[in-house]
Amino acid sequence: MKYPDNMTDVAMLQPDYLGFIFHEASSRNFTDSIPKLPESIKKVGVFVDEKVEFISGQIEKHKLSAIQLHGHESPEICRLLKSSGVKVFKVFSIKNEFDFSVLTSYEEVCDYFLFDTKGKLPGGNGYTFDWSVLKQYPSTKPFFLSGGIGLDQVENLKHFLASDASKYCFAIDVNSRFEIEPGLKDLEKLKELKTQLLF
């Protein structure tokens, strides 16, 4: 999310989370103030290899409930940030295969994993990875499914959510395929997604 008025509109759809990107290189970089949102909606700050001091400052300034770490953050950085009381989502990028052993050192220092598509950018690349890779998921830690999910994937998404691979899938993360422009969400598309996934 980037524009306050758009946040207020999207909040009416009652998502569990709204994300705010704090990464200067991103076209969705957030520099504004977050309007008052329903307490049921958790505010998530998205960071890419930022210093702990900067992340902590944004947590305090915007009263973030969670942080999504999209870079090469170490387990120790995750541990330090988790100790501040926020939920920590650690992002891992997948294309056609993935070495799940890298998750081991993050098990105790993250609340959720988030699996995104490996691409040129840290996120928001607009295309999906091969979800069947998650059949090999060795953990019991809940994860977010992300990466280029759009309305044209709804049937595939339903199939995935009905499969064993989704056993620990906690939430669906959508972004670029539901935008009018970077950071400006398309309400009609989001409404359609919500309608189609209520099964």
Could you give the CA distance from residue 50 to residue 71 in angstroms, rounded to a whole number?
8
The verdict on pTM exceeding 0.75 is yes
**What is residue 134's three-state secondary structure?**
helix
Residue type, 174: V
Identify the pLDDT of residue 95.
84
Q: Given a cut of 80, is residue 199 above it in pLDDT?
A: no
Do residues 1 and 15 touch, judged by C-beta distance below 8 A?
Answer: no
Q: Given a cut of 70, is residue 77 above it in pLDDT?
A: yes
Identify the pLDDT of residue 96.
83
88 DSSP assignment: E
Q: Is 113 buried (19+), middle (13-18) or exposed (0-12) by CB count in 10 A?
A: buried
Query: Mean pLDDT throughout 115-122?
Result: 76
**What is residue 113's three-state secondary structure?**
strand
Q: In Å, what is the CA distance from 5 to each residue of 8, 45, 61, 62, 130?
A: 5, 18, 19, 16, 35
Could you give the CA distance from residue 170 to residue 88 in angstroms, rounded to a whole number?
14
Note the pLDDT tens digit of each residue in 165-179.
Answer: 999 999 999 999 999
- Domain range summary for the chain, segments of one domain joined by +: 4-197
Q: Given a cut of 60, is residue 22 above it in pLDDT?
A: yes
Better-scored residue on pLDDT, 119 or 96: 96
Q: Which of 38-42, 81-85, 144-148, 195-199 has the lowest mean pLDDT?
A: 195-199
Q: Which of 65-79, 109-123, 149-163, 167-181 has the lowest mean pLDDT?
A: 109-123
Do residues 43 and 62 touch, judged by C-beta distance below 8 A?
Answer: yes
Q: Under CATH, to which class is 4-197 assigned?
A: alpha beta
CA atoms within 13 A on the CB side of 149: 22
| Token digits of residue 196 | 């189609």
Identify the pLDDT of residue 126.
60
Q: What percent of the chain is modeled with pLDDT above 70?
A: 95
Query: Mean pLDDT throughout 129-138?
Result: 94
Q: Given a cut of 90, is residue 127 above it in pLDDT?
A: no
Could you give the CA distance from residue 123 to residue 175 in angstroms, rounded to a whole number?
9
Q: Given a cut of 70, is residue 120 above it in pLDDT?
A: no
